[in-house]
Structure 1
Amino acid sequence: MKEKDYDAIRKEIVINASVDKVYSALIDPELLTQWFPNIATIEPWAGGKVFFRFSKEVTKEKKDHDVIGTIISIIPNKELSYTWNFTTKPEYNKNTIVTWKLEQLDNDKTKITLIHSGFTNVDRIQYDEHNEGWDWYTKRLENFVRD
């Protein structure tokens, strides 16, 4: 029997901020660390490396968590997609992909669609933890960039 994929995690929000401001918060390490990981490195080109560290002091877990990835697609002010691999959680599936899609609705509103795909039925805990985490972080992004 073939493993079925869970539906990808999908979050859609409209933020009172320009698409330029939202995109910068996704790609600029100095801005990223104000709402997302505690340490961030991004090489902003297709094939570029991504590194995020979530410190144990913030996550309330027993150790820091590191995520590495490679940028798959980058279209300024429109889309950012990268692989998402938890190096500190070896039990997690290494084949997930995070995609941010941005759509400017008017001068001061941006629709963000976050899609985290690649989970399978053996990844239920991973799926649930990420689903909860993305609720938290998309709200933090919204609060960070709001005009």
Structure 2
Amino acid sequence: MELGTIEREIHIEASPDVVFEVVSSPDHLKEWWPDDASYDPVPGSSGEIVFGDRDAGGAVMAFTVVEAIPPRTFTFRWTHPVGETAATGNSLLVTFDLTPSRGGTLLKMTETGFREMGWEAAVLEQQYKEHSTGWDFYLPRLVPYIATLS
């Protein structure tokens, strides 16, 4: 197993404009992925996403927007230590590429940077598997959520 890149594709029955808004806006993001999100969806913006209840030990993850090109691409870094600048070696890079397809949108998600984190082999494998399983769970939630918006 390569453990370097996670790639997923999903077709969504909505325009790239709508899908871009849902994958880039913190208000929409928290409806299908984290439990909470706060950041500005513009390049250079830093914030956080939260899985679970922040006050009950939930996971608070640093989040930095790298690129936002409506309605085609939204890229961010996450998992870097809070207070540190996101960079190769301390964070993972996620890109959502959106392409018009069959009257809707083909969303391609790519997450990279696992090997660059410097984790020992067992941690690398665990993190890769957790993220792979996570995307398998969360990405399909886009379809029913976006259906509620029309």
- TM-score, normalised to structure 1, is 0.81
2:142 alignment partner AA: L
Task: Tell me if 1:114 matches 2:109.
Answer: yes
Aligned residue pairs, count = 135
Is the contact made by 2:26 and 2:41 (CA closer than 8 Å) also made in structure 1?
no
Looking at structure 2, the residues matched to 76 and 53 of structure 1 have their Cα atoms a distance apart, in angstroms, of 25
Match for residue 74 of structure 2?
Answer: 80
Q: Look up the match of 2:41.
A: 44
Structure 1 stretches lacking a partner, 5+ long: none
Whole-angstrom CA distance in 2 between matches of 1:8 and 1:56: 29
Letter in 2 for 1:46: P
- Maintained 8 Å contact 2:78/2:93: yes
The one-letter amino acid of 2:114's match is F
What SS does structure 1 have at the residue aligned with 2:101?
strand
Match of 2:16 among 19, 27, 36: 19
**Cα pair 1:49 1:69 within 8 Å, conserved:** yes
Structure 2 match to 1:129: 130
3-state SS of 1:22 partner: helix
Say if 1:73 and 1:79, in contact at 8 Å, map to a contact too. yes
Flag as ranges the 4+ runs of structure 1 deviating above 3 A. Answer: none
Identity %: 27
Name the CA shift for 1:76/1:50 in 2 (closer, same or farther; >3 Å).
farther
- Counterpart position of 1:98: 94
Instruction: Quote the offset at 1:78 in angstroms.
Output: 0.6
- Higher RCO (CA 8 Å, separation ≥ 6 residues): 1
3-state SS of paired residue (1:26): helix
| CA distance, structure 2, for counterparts of residue 42 and residue 20 of structure 1 | 19
Structure 2, unaligned runs of 5 or more: 83-88
Q: Which deviates further from its counterpart, 124-133 or 78-87?
A: 78-87
Instruction: From the superposition, tell whether residues 124 and 56 of structure 1 become closer, same or farther in structure 2 (CA, over 3 Å).
Output: farther
Structure richer in helix, relative to its length? 2
Alignment partners' CA distance in 2, 1:47 and 1:28 = 15
Pairwise CA distance, 1:21: 1.3
